[in-house]
């Protein structure tokens, strides 16, 4: 790939405009760029067409999305940064096999996602969805909740199994310990368990984790190894009183198997924030499955995310312009996918 010569102006293409203010650039970003990096030429793309029209000039791209066809014309591109943590939607073969650096914003949504997971766990443990349905119809519902196969339960002493022990998983473990839960986790490589975590296992021991856990939480990146991670045989390994929570990617759970597991009582409940198809279609069977709690891919949402992601990008841009690409934060291992 061509390298910028010393003194050559660097062109930055910004492609983070969205119809939703929550997920667009902070309004002072361009002024901050002009003041801090006057040597950088800034271009803006508001849609796919303008991205494709301008990417041939860019050495740096800050983007939510990267169309497959973009890499064929991005001959000067050296570095891509995304405000997202997940990069599976960016890793087309043309980017994966190039020497373009990819960085992400992992870690920034960890607290929000861990809070969301615990909101879902508490909702299932205390049977809040049922209470809300009764309240909507002005019904007391106490006897029905007491008589349910899975009545309200306490979290103390329960086992939380975390699949994906990265930033989200570690924050989740801290919250679980505060509730008196036992924590077991899995990650790709072996690790000595940190304080308060009973064990950290590798994926070859997922069957043990599933069998022991009262709540199984998926917060791993989507990779070829994790696609379809939870299917029928995995759900059958879980306790009948256990619940599954997915805040990672929808493609990690085989939805047809989960529907059957909930209908036939293999597990007690599930909560999904992500789906194989988003937005979830109105005719999806998932809307009609009892004991399935749905949130609309909001686990990582909080107002300060874009400001923090842009601060990270500007910090990396300073390193990049000073000729220190190897020191960039949050470099993605494109072969592994995270």
Active site residue 264: no
Written as six digits, the tokens of 265 are 């009582």
Quickly count: other Cβ atoms within 10 Å of residue 322's Cβ: 9
Q: Out of 249, 255, 291, 305, which one is annotated catalytic?
A: 249
- Rounded Cα–Cα distance for residues 143 and 135 (Å): 14
115, containing H or E segment? helix 110-125
Active site residue 127: no
Quickly count: other Cβ atoms within 10 Å of residue 103's Cβ: 21
Q: Out of 8, 144, 264, 278, which one is annotated catalytic?
A: 278
Active site residue 175: no
Sign of the CA dihedral with 17 first, then 97, 204, and 236 last:
positive
Angle at 254 between CA 186 and CA 150, to 5 degrees: 75
Sign of the CA dihedral with 256 first, then 258, 263, and 264 last:
positive
Q: Which residues are catalytic?
A: 249, 278, 297
């Amino acid at each position: 790939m061509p390298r910028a010569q010393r003194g050559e102006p660097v062109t930055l293409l910004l492609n983070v405009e969205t119809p939703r203010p929550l997920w667009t650039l902070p309004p002072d970003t361009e002024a901050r760029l002009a003041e801090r990096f006057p040597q950088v030429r800034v271009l803006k793309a508001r849609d796919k067409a303008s991205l494709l029209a301008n990417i041939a000039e860019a050495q740096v791209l800050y983007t939510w999305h990267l169309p497959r066809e973009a890499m064929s014309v991005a001959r000067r591109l050296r570095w891509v940064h995304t405000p997202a943590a997940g990069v599976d939607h960016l890793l087309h073969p043309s980017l994966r096999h190039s020497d373009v650096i990819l960085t992400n914003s992992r870690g920034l949504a960890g607290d929000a996602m861990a809070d969301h997971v615990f909101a879902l766990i508490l909702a299932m443990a205390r049977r809040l969805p049922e209470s809300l349905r009764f309240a909507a119809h002005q019904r007391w519902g106490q006897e029905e909740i007491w008589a349910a196969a899975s009545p309200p339960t306490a979290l103390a002493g329960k086992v939380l199994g975390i699949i994906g022990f990265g930033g989200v998983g570690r924050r989740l473990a801290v919250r679980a310990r505060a509730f008196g839960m036992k924590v077991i986790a899995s990650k790709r490589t072996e690790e000595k368990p940190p304080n308060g975590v009973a064990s950290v296992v590798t994926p070859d021991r997922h069957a043990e984790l599933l069998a022991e856990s009262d709540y199984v939480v998926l917060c791993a990146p989507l990779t070829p190894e994790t696609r379809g991670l939870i299917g029928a045989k995995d759900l059958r390994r879980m306790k009948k009183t256990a619940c599954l929570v997915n805040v990672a990617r929808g493609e990690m759970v085989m939805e047809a198997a989960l529907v059957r597991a909930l209908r036939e009582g293999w597990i007690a409940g599930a909560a999904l924030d992500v789906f194989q198809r988003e937005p979830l279609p109105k005719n999806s069977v998932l809307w009609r499955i009892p004991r399935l709690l749905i949130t609309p891919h909001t686990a990582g949402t909080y107002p300060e995310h874009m400001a923090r992601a842009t601060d990270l990008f500007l910090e990396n841009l300073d390193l990049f312009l000073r000729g220190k690409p190897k020191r960039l934060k949050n470099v993605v291992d494109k072969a592994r996918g995270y």
